[in-house]
Amino acid sequence: MPEFLITADNRRIIHVDLDAFYAQIEMRDHPELRNLPLIISRDPTESNGRGVVATANYAARNLGVHSAMSAAEAKRLAPDAFFMRPDFQKYKMISQQIHHIFHQYTDKIEPIAFDEAYLDLTDSVLTGATLAAKIRHQILKETQLTSSIGVSYNKLLAKLASEFNKPNGVTVITKDNALDFLARLPIASFRGVGKKTQEKFAVLGVENGAQLRMIPQETLRAQFGKMGEHLFWQARGVHFGEVQWHRQRQSVGKEETFDQFVQTRDEVNLEFKKLAVGIVKIMKNKKLVGRTLNIKIRDSEFNTITRSVTQSVPFKLEAGSIVSVAQTIFDENMNTDFSIRLLGISLSNLQSSGFEEMTLF
Ligand SMILES: [Mg+2]
């Protein structure tokens, strides 16, 4: 590699990709479907052969079914498969739940799809591998869904890494092993290489990254235009694209630590009320509303419980309704006998309340 390319790219980027997201959610919610080929799409026999596969579980994929395939074709390949209509509203909610987890690690998040995002974790003190393990574990714990994560120093390698060990895996690509990893990668795995490009490469006798790397830049440009240029850099693991995120306020919250532990339900309710009144005031001042309500409870033993409720419409900025959700969550998660050190409430998934105000006046 020319020396000028060996720049100090010390970023820590991860690419998170939930495994067969929609299908996995439906398997989670319908355990009786777990061992069947499951195709998320309208059943072609009920829709005059129309419909497109949104995704399929791995049992169906093993039969050749893949996303974007016509449902009729999928039915031919997997006649015994169960077809289920997608519930995008549900998938979106779960996606938000997962983003809430991401935000505990960084706000530098670039969403690619409901089930896919890049995170820039350069600022974290933890290693990429540790972060990947923690995030995967937390997603599994809170949603019962598995994900694959790629860790590297740029987006290109992070993405290739997450695809490498799918489903339910982690791959870390470091500067030391990047060129090796790319050399072994089949040509079809490089970004932007479709069927046609693959056929062209087959004619040139190029089957993997090592062979791709031997082709001069001019030749690639002449044969494949702009894509050829991209491939030249991909083969060398060079990619300077940044994680595209938008700086925004992520949550408005308040918490209170008690010198004397709170031990009655009435006291808890009173403390929730104080917190909620404070939050409502801040939210109104900042002209914000939020769709996710987060509750934090820490007991005298330092056990911490955090729970969230996400609605499709923002929570009413009314202390009373916030308190009643908080209290319900508290009651569901605590025994009657408790000793509380800290309570917290926050609202996230914020949006401007400006629109509603405009329509009012
Ligand atoms: Mg996915």
Separation of alpha carbons 95 and 29, rounded Å: 15
Q: How far is the CA of 358 from the centre of ligand 1 (A)?
A: 39
- Residue 87 is assigned to a ligand binding site: no
Burial state string for 9-23 with b = 16 or more CB within 10 A and e = fewer than 16: bebbbbbbbbbbbbb
- Residue 19 is assigned to a ligand binding site: no
The CATH number corresponding to 1-175 among 3.40.470.10, 3.90.650.10, 1.10.490.10, 3.30.70.270 equals 3.30.70.270
Fold of 251-360: Dna Ligase; domain 1 (3.30.1490)
Q: What is the pLDDT of residue 245?
A: 82
Q: What is the pLDDT of residue 247?
A: 59
Residue 180's contacts (CB-CB under 8 Å, 6 or more residues apart) are none
Q: What is the pLDDT of residue 9?
A: 81
Q: CATH 3.30.70.270: which residues of the chain?
A: 1-175
Q: How far is the CA of 145 from the centre of ligand 1 (A)?
A: 11
Q: What is the pLDDT of residue 132?
A: 97
Q: How far is the CA of 136 from the centre of ligand 1 (A)?
A: 13
| Residues involved in catalysis | 116
Whether the full predicted model's pTM is greater than 0.85, yes or no, is no
Q: What is the pLDDT of residue 315?
A: 92
Neighbours of ion ligand 1 (CB under 5 A): 17-18, 21, 115
Q: Which residues pair with residue 152 across a beta bridge?
A: 13
Instruction: Please tell me the class of the 189-234 domain.
Output: mainly alpha
* Run means of pLDDT, 10 residues per run, the chain, 361 residues: 58 96 97 95 86 94 94 96 94 93 93 92 95 97 98 97 95 96 97 92 96 96 92 94 76 93 96 97 90 93 88 90 94 91 93 51 30
Q: CATH 1.10.150.20: which residues of the chain?
A: 189-234
Q: CATH 3.30.1490.100: which residues of the chain?
A: 251-360
Q: How far is the CA of 115 from the centre of ligand 1 (A)?
A: 5
Q: What is each CA distance from 40 to 9, 16, 25, 91, 254, in whole angstroms?
A: 40, 21, 10, 12, 41
| Bridge pairing between strands 147-152 and 13-18 | antiparallel
Q: How far is the CA of 163 from the centre of ligand 1 (A)?
A: 9
Q: How far is the CA of 77 from the centre of ligand 1 (A)?
A: 22
